[in-house]
């Protein structure tokens, strides 16, 4: 009969051999990193949290992202946008709160931008029009190449800003006005 201490040593040695012989595991990094941006526009805080898919040489709009279908701009969890006060998006009112963001890209003409009250959802499927808080049109622009999807504020002036969604060579600007005025 083997002494207990010798049995424990043999088991430990076997485990070490098994570990050293096992193939190295990848780090498990996500394909799309998470990103966020927060911006004060006058007295309104606007924050965006989103996944950043990478183009990796793929054709994007009209291919990976089909025309005329609801698309979630980002990756993994739906992109969330939070407004601390009521705002105007492309001249249309949107109440303070948190929303998920969706787009319908069109090959010609403006794209449809959707703010959905279903804020905490995955990027598929689209929660449906019954949750829409606002739909506006925004005209895409040609832009310099952006390998990882990005959402940023290229212009902030007093109570106005532009929020830009940018991937590949396409950028979709959203004009935001934050008209809140504190009481004197």
Per-residue confidence in pLDDT tens, the chain, 184 aa: 556 554 545 544 454 444 444 444 456 666 778 999 999 999 999 999 999 999 999 999 999 999 999 999 988 889 999 999 999 999 999 999 999 999 999 999 999 999 999 998 877 898 999 999 999 999 999 999 999 999 999 999 999 999 999 999 999 999 999 997 766 6
pLDDT attached to residue 183: 67
Query: At residue 133, what are phi and psi to the nearest 5 degrees?
Result: -95, -30
DSSP string, 133-173: EEEEEE--EEEEEEEEEEEEEEEEETTEEEEEEEEEEEEEE
pLDDT attached to residue 104: 97
Tell whether pTM > 0.85: no
Rounded to whole angstroms, the Cα distance separating 29 from 152 reads 24
pLDDT attached to residue 3: 60
Question: What is the CA 159 to chain-centroid distance, rounded?
Answer: 24
3-state class (DSSP) for residue 17: helix
DSSP state of 178: -
Rounded to whole angstroms, the Cα distance separating 145 from 167 reads 7
């Amino acid at each position: 009969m083997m002494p207990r201490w010798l049995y424990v040593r043999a088991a430990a040695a076997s485990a070490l051999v098994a570990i050293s012989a096992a193939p190295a595991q990848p780090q498990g990094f996500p394909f799309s990193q998470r990103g966020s941006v927060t911006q004060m526009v006058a007295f309104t805080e606007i924050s965006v949290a989103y996944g950043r898919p990478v183009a990796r040489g793929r054709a994007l709009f009209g291919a990976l992202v089909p025309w005329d279908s609801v698309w979630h701009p980002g990756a993994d969890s739906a992109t969330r946008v939070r407004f601390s006060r009521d705002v105007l998006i492309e001249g249309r009112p949107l109440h303070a709160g948190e929303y998920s963001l969706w787009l319908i890209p069109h090959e010609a003409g403006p794209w449809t931008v959707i703010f959905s009250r279903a804020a905490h959802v995955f990027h598929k499927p689209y929660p449906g029009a019954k949750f829409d808080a606002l739909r506006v049109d925004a005209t895409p622009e040609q832009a310099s190449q952006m390998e990882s999807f990005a959402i940023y504020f290229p212009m902030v002036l007093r109570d106005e800003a532009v929020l830009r969604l940018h991937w590949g060579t396409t950028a979709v600007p959203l004009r935001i006005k934050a008209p809140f005025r504190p009481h004197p």
